[in-house]
Amino acid sequence: MHKHNFYAGPSILSQYTIKNTAEAVIDFAGTGLSILEVSHRSKEFVAVMEEARALVKELLEVPDGYSVLFLGGGASLQFCMVPFNLLARKAAYMETGTWAVNAIKEARLFGEVDVVASSKDANFNYIPKGFTVPQDADYFHYTSNNTIYGTEIRHDLDAGKVRLVCDMSSDIFSRPVDVSKYDVIYAGAQKNLAPAGATIVIVREDALGHVERPIPTMLDYRTHIKKDSMFNTPPVLPIFSALQTLRWYKEQGGVKELEKRDIAKADLLYEAIDSSRMFEGTVKDHADRSIMNVCFVMKPEYKELEKEFVDFAAARGIVGIKGHRSVGGFRASLYNALPIESVRALVEAMNEFQSSH
């Protein structure tokens, strides 16, 4: 049966990415070797790394003075690498979900952390507004898309003269970004890019070298900049897959086009939720709603039907819609590779289920 993949991550990838990766597992670039067994120093793989880096720069219009890195360790390692490299005395953080909480916990190991805004009081179901970033902070960190709670900041924030750092793990490549406003952007690959195992880091080179502390070699961004992400063995397979996705993005018309499609998909689903007598969205303010992760629940009078709906949807090939345990209900992740037909299938299932109850 054809599956509609709504998982939050690892998550749906384009068929182009999957097919080309499958082929390279058998024969990589005509080498007669599998991508699983090829040297990362082979000229064929070095070419993959170079093209992937160039395509990230092209798609996100990364200005001069920035390096694009492909590292291991997941986005979670960036929670520690960012303060290791940038926090001299004090950092400001926005607390909008579990991943922000984890990032804050790591930063506290390195210095003072000023949590300038939080939506913890309402289980992170909104984006805090009207806060100020202390201008003596070394940087301001925020999470652009809160994967678990379905909130998103869909514009570049302004922190005045303070350096800006953003975790874009679950919405990178879903809109154009003004990279020049940021000092570090990072994203785990396993949502909009590749299988798990690689993390993209876009770092402004002159933001580095301003902290006194010794930095372990592997955790120092400068190590990886100097060695073009080849200081140690990089995650070869995820980087190969990332390149396929990046090529596909370019062919589709780039991030502006992806954004248009993502908005259309999200609008379709939110409309179905808002006009339903059975379902309701967990994020009330439309401006805060994520176009990547749509969180919704059954209204109190239908609450006991939630499990039944998950099974009802699964029988139609709709998988991965169970909400994270800290929110409950449902979460439909609408990453770039998800076709609008899958959203239509989900909306149809919701309507059918509703008419039969």
Q: Which positions make up the binding site for pyridoxal 5'-phosphate?
A: 75-76, 99, 147, 167, 190, 232-233
Active site includes 161?
no
* Cα–Cα distance measured from residue 295 to residue 149, given in angstroms and rounded to the nearest whole number: 7
Tokens of 205: 């080179």
Burial of 181 per CB tally in 10 Å (0-12, 13-18, 19+): middle
Binding region for L-glutamate: 41
- Looking at the Cβ atoms of 75 and 273, the one nearer to ligand PMP is 75
- Looking at the Cβ atoms of 31 and 98, the one nearer to ligand PMP is 98
Binding region: 41, 75-76, 99, 147, 167, 190, 232-233
We find the least distance from the C-beta atom of residue 167 to ligand PMP, in angstroms, to be 5
Binding site for ligand PMP (CB under 6 A): 9, 74-76, 99, 143, 147, 167, 169-170, 188
Tokens of 41: 């120093």
We find the least distance from the C-beta atom of residue 147 to ligand PMP, in angstroms, to be 3
Q: What DSSP character marks residue 190?
A: T
* Cα–Cα distance measured from residue 167 to residue 151, given in angstroms and rounded to the nearest whole number: 13
Active site includes 19?
no
We find the least distance from the C-beta atom of residue 191 to ligand PMP, in angstroms, to be 7
Which of the following is catalytic: 167, 171, 220, 288? 167
* Cα–Cα distance measured from residue 52 to residue 237, given in angstroms and rounded to the nearest whole number: 12
Tokens of 203: 């770092």
- Looking at the Cβ atoms of 169 and 282, the one nearer to ligand PMP is 169
* Cα–Cα distance measured from residue 249 to residue 192, given in angstroms and rounded to the nearest whole number: 10
For residue 322, what are the β-bridge partners? 330
How far, in Å, are 114, 117, 118, 157, 286 from residue 129 at the CA level? 16, 8, 9, 11, 14
We find the least distance from the C-beta atom of residue 9 to ligand PMP, in angstroms, to be 5
- Looking at the Cβ atoms of 147 and 276, the one nearer to ligand PMP is 147
Active site includes 248?
no
We find the least distance from the C-beta atom of residue 149 to ligand PMP, in angstroms, to be 10
Which of the following is catalytic: 171, 183, 191, 288? 191
* Cα–Cα distance measured from residue 106 to residue 344, given in angstroms and rounded to the nearest whole number: 41
Which residue has its beta carbon closest to ligand PMP?
A: 74
- Looking at the Cβ atoms of 38 and 100, the one nearer to ligand PMP is 100
SS3 state of residue 201: strand
We find the least distance from the C-beta atom of residue 180 to ligand PMP, in angstroms, to be 22
- Looking at the Cβ atoms of 294 and 298, the one nearer to ligand PMP is 294
> Any long-range contacts for 45-54 (C-beta under 8 Å, 24+ apart)?
45/236, 45/240, 46/230, 48/239, 48/240, 48/243, 49/228, 49/229, 49/230, 49/234, 49/239, 50/228, 51/243, 51/246, 52/239, 52/242, 52/243, 52/246, 53/228, 53/229
Which H/E stretch holds residue 78?
helix 74-86
Q: Which residues are catalytic?
A: 99, 167, 191
